[in-house]
Structure 1
Amino acid sequence: MSIAVQYINITVHDVDAALPFYRDGLGLEVLNDVPAGEHRWLTLGSPEQPDVALVLSDPHAGRSKADGDLVGELLAKGTLLGPIIFRTDDLDSTFEKVRQTGAEVMQEPSDQPWGPRDCAFRDPSGNHVRISQA
């Protein structure tokens, strides 16, 4: 038996507002754009990991009004997710590309005492995103 990660869902306030951060800044490719009434799911991936994709959706996509409202409140507080950690082979270049999207810089590239060199941002919805150099 084997098991692997296939999709990681990231809730954002506005899929269109989050797209430049994930596509232009991080360099992910749009794989699917699935409308669902007033909502949609946007799937992005990297050629480096073709079997893993991120799914961006708003708080109410696929949820009841009450659940979507609660998820939206947690997202607004910045407490919905722990950090999402990406890996790159060129941290400085990636940092500059992400910075150019207007994302909030939490930490510029620096060496960490536990080993990696990394940086941190908040995506347009406030999700904590770290990027480590491989």
Structure 2
Amino acid sequence: MRIKLNSIMVDDQDKALRFYTDVLGFVKKNDLPVGEYKWLTVVSPEGPDDLELVLEPNANPAAKVFQKALFEQGIPLTAFEVSDIHAEFSRLKALGVTFTMEPTNAGPVTIAVFSDTCGNLIQIYQPPAAR
């Protein structure tokens, strides 16, 4: 058994694709029509291209409530690892990304949290070995 897909609910798939590719730097892997939505995935240019993030349409009312509650409570939906959090923070800030937490030491890791413009807070973290 292995992890192949991880989904993130988004309120607008096209806007999410632009953010996750143009701003975060992921690469589109799949963009296939499925009814009124798409099977839309991105991969990291730094990682294996068989580990995909699905930009899932948030059409389920229960999922919308969950997404909104996490956002309002300041809880990130997922986290992405970076090798230099201060450089990534500066790069993303320059691109207009809104952070709810600037780089902060949290035990052995450094974390920061930003809005993905699609209803989610995302955490980036730098592991201790990369500091």
**How high is the TM-score relative to the length of structure 1?**
0.78
Larger deviation: 96-105 or 46-55? 96-105
The alignment covers a number of residue pairs equal to 123
Q: Tell me if structure 1 keeps the 8 A contact 2:11–2:118.
A: yes
Aligned counterparts of 2:101 and 2:36: Cα–Cα separation in 1: 35
* Residue aligning to 2:57: 58
* Residue aligning to 1:73: 65
Gaps of 5+ in 2: none
For the aligned residue pairs, the C-alpha RMSD in angstroms reads: 2.1
Describe the shift of the 1:70–1:59 C-alpha distance in structure 2 as closer, same or farther (beyond 3 A): same
Describe the shift of the 1:42–1:5 C-alpha distance in structure 2 as closer, same or farther (beyond 3 A): same
* Residue aligning to 2:7: 9
Aligned counterparts of 2:108 and 2:126: Cα–Cα separation in 1: 10
Describe the shift of the 1:102–1:20 C-alpha distance in structure 2 as closer, same or farther (beyond 3 A): farther
Query: What amino acid sits opposite 1:57 in the alignment?
Result: E
Share of identical aligned residues, percent? 32
Describe the shift of the 1:78–1:100 C-alpha distance in structure 2 as closer, same or farther (beyond 3 A): farther
* Residue aligning to 1:108: 102
Gaps of 5+ in 1: 61-67
What's the CA shift string for 1:14-53, capped at 9, x where partnerless? 0122223321232111111111121112100013322211
Secondary structure of the 2:99 match is: strand
**How high is the TM-score relative to the length of structure 2?**
0.79
